C-alpha cells in the first residue's frame, strides 16, 4: 500500500471470452501491476473474460482478491473459488454498493453495457461529492475514444460543468493507470453547488 491510503482497487471490465487479444493482455498486465504495487482487487467475482485475466494476475503477484456477485450469477456458474473473500450480493445494485464500500480507487477497462453502467455510477458519485476516489478509464486500443468525444459534447452543450473534465483520468496503458493511482492525492474539498450546477 502506498502512503496515499489506497489499498483496494475496484476494477470494472468485460466478462466476454470473445475479444481481441490486446484486451486480455492489458487486463493481465494491470492485474500484475496491481499485485506488484501492493494493492488488492475488488471485482465481480467471475471466472470469465478480462475480469478473471486481471484478478488472477493480482493473486499471482501477491495481492488479494475480493469478489462480489449476486446469487443469480452464482447459480449460472460464473463464480470463481479463488477469491480471498467472496461477498454475495442481493442483486446488481447491491453489488455495486458493496464494491464501492470495499474499494479506495476505481479503474474501468474496456467493457460492455455493465461496465458502462458501473463506471457511470462511480463518475456521478464523484461528480456530486459522495467520494473523492481516484477514477481511471483505461483506454485500451482506443476503445473509449467515441465515449470521450461524447463526454466533451456533454460539457460543450452545458449538460455538465467544465469541472467534470477533472473527474476521470484517461490512461493509455496499464502502467499509466497504476502510476496515476500511486501518485493520486484526494482533492481537499468536494465540488460546490456552483461547480455542479453552473455552466
Structural domains present in the chain: 8-197 (3.40.50.450)
pLDDT at 8: 98
Question: Among 147, 122, 138, which residue's Cα sits nearest to residue 13?
Answer: 138
Residue numbers in the chain where pLDDT is lower than 70: 1-2
Residue with cell 483520468: 169
Which pTM does this prediction carry? 0.95
**Alpha-carbon 14 to chain mean position:** 11
Give the long-range contacts of residues 121-124, CB within 8 A, separation 24 or more. Answer: 121/96, 122/10, 123/167, 123/168
pLDDT of residue 82: 93
Amino acid at each position: 500500500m502506498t502512503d496515499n491510503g489506497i489499498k483496494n482497487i475496484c476494477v470494472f471490465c468485460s466478462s466476454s471470452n470473445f475479444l481481441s487479444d490486446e484486451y486480455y493482455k492489458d487486463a493481465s498486465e494491470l492485474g500484475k501491476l496491481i499485485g506488484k504495487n501492493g494493492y488488492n482487487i475488488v471485482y465481480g467475482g467471475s471466472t470469465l473474460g478480462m475480469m478473471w485475466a486481471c484478478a488472477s494476475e493480482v493473486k499471482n503477484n501477491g495481492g488479494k482478491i475480493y469478489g462480489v456477485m449476486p446469487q443469480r450469477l452464482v447459480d449460472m456458474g460464473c463464480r470463481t473459488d479463488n477469491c480471498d473473500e467472496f461477498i454475495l450480493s442481493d442483486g446488481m445494485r447491491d453489488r455495486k454498493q458493496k464494491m464501492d464500500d470495499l474499494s479506495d480507487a476505481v479503474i474501468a477497462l474496456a467493457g460492455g453495457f455493465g461496465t458502462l453502467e458501473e463506471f457511470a455510477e462511480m463518475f456521478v458519485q464523484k461528480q456530486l461529492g459522495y467520494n473523492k476516489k481516484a477514477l481511471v478509464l483505461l483506454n485500451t486500443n482506443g476503445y473509449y475514444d467515441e465515449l470521450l468525444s461524447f463526454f466533451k459534447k456533454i460539457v460543450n452543450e452545458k449538460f455538465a460543468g467544465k469541472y467534470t473534465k477533472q473527474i476521470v483520468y484517461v490512461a493509455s496503458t496499464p502502467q499509466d493507470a497504476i502510476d496515476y493511482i500511486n501518485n493520486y492525492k484526494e482533492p481537499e474539498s468536494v465540488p460546490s453547488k456552483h461547480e455542479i450546477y453552473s455552466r
